[in-house]
Amino acid sequence: MATVDPTLDLGRESRGLRVVEAYNRIKDSVVRTEIEDISNLFSGSNAKVFAKLENLQETGSFKLRGATNRILCLTDDERVKGVTTASNGNHGLGIASAAKQAGVSAEVFVSMPVGPEKTTRIEGYGTRIRRVGAGPLDAELAAREHASESGRIFISPYNNWDVLAGQGTVAVELLEQIPDLDAVFVTVGGGGLIGGIGSYLKYASPRTEVVGCWPEGSRVLYESLKAGHILSMEEKDTLSESTTGGVEEGSITFEVARSVVDSMVLVTEEEILNAMRLAYREKNWIIEGAAAVALAAFIKTVENYAGKTVAIVICGGNLSARARKAI
C-alpha cells in the first residue's frame, strides 16, 4: 500500500507554491508550449476557446514535466542508484528524456502489448526497456519489485508529489497566457495532470472551473471520486490508451482530485474518435486519444460555456499504430 504524502496536509497556498517551485526548477528543461485560438471551431457558442498544445513537448506529451521535476529533485545518492518506472509509453518517454538530460541511469517496465512506436523511442534515449506481463499493473508490480531489489528509485506516473507538481506547471503557463480563464478541460487517468493543474489554479485563480474528462471505458478515478474511496474495477479497450490502468490504493491523487475537480464529464469512444478526426481535419493536428478526450468533453458540453474563456489541454500526440489507422 502506498504511503500518504505529507503535503496532503498542507493548505491550498502551500500546494500552489510547490507547483511554482517546480516551474522554476524545470522551465529551462521543458518546452513552454503554445496556446492556439480554436474558437472558430465553436463559432455558434460565442466562447473563446484555446488549446494548450502539450503535444509539442519534446517527448510529445505533458509527462516530461513531472518526470523532469522528480528527477531534478533526486538526492546525489539517488542519482547514483538510478531510477525505474512502469509506463504505457508517455511517462516512460518523459523519464527517459529527463534521465538522459540529468545523466541518470533509467529503466522502464512496459507490458507486452505496448507497441514498438513507443518502446523504440524510449530506448533511443539510452533507457533500458523491460517487457513483462499482460497489462499496466503487471509492469508496475515488476518495476516496484525491481526497485526494491536493485536500489533504484521507483517513479510513479502519478502517485508522487514531485511528479504531480511538475504536471501542474501546465497551469502556470496557462494563466500567463490566458489570465481571464473561466474553465480548463483536462483528461484524467491516474490524476497527476488534473491534480497538479487544479492545485495551482485553486491557489492562483480559484474562480477557474477545473473540468475532469474521462473515457467511458477507463474511468477508475471518476467512479472512485463518486464513491468516496478508491475502487478497483475492470477497464475496457479505449482509444485513450495512455489513461488506462488503475489507481493504486492510498494514491495522493485521489484526495487532491477531490479537492480540485469542480465537474466531471464522460465521453464515448465514438466521441473520442470524432474529436481526433476534427483536430486532424480542421487543424492538421495528430493528437492521441487521451488528448481527444478533453476536446470531446468540451464539444459535449459546449452549450454550458457560452461567452466564457476556456482552455482545453491537448495532453499528447503520441499515437499507437491502431489509433493512427482509426483516424
Domain boundaries of the chain, sorted by first residue: 12-61+160-326, 64-154
Q: Does domain 12-61+160-326 have CATH number 1.10.287.110?
A: no
Distance CA 243, CA 227 (A): 20
Burial (Cβ within 10 Å: 0-12, 13-18, ≥19) of residue 77: exposed
- H helix count then E strand count, the chain: 14, 10
Of 245, 272, 290, 286, nearest in space to 113 by CA = 245
pLDDT in tens, 38-68: 999 998 889 999 999 999 999 999 999 999 9
For residue 244, pLDDT beyond 90: no
Measured in whole angstroms, the distance separating CA 259 from the mean position of its chain's CA atoms is 18
Instruction: Confirm whether 12-61+160-326 and 64-154 share one CATH topology.
Output: yes
Question: Per-residue confidence at 11, pLDDT binned at 50, 70, 90?
Answer: low
Distance CA 225, CA 150 (A): 35
CATH of domain 64-154: 3.40.50.1100
Residue 5 pLDDT: 43
Q: Name the pTM for this structure.
A: 0.94
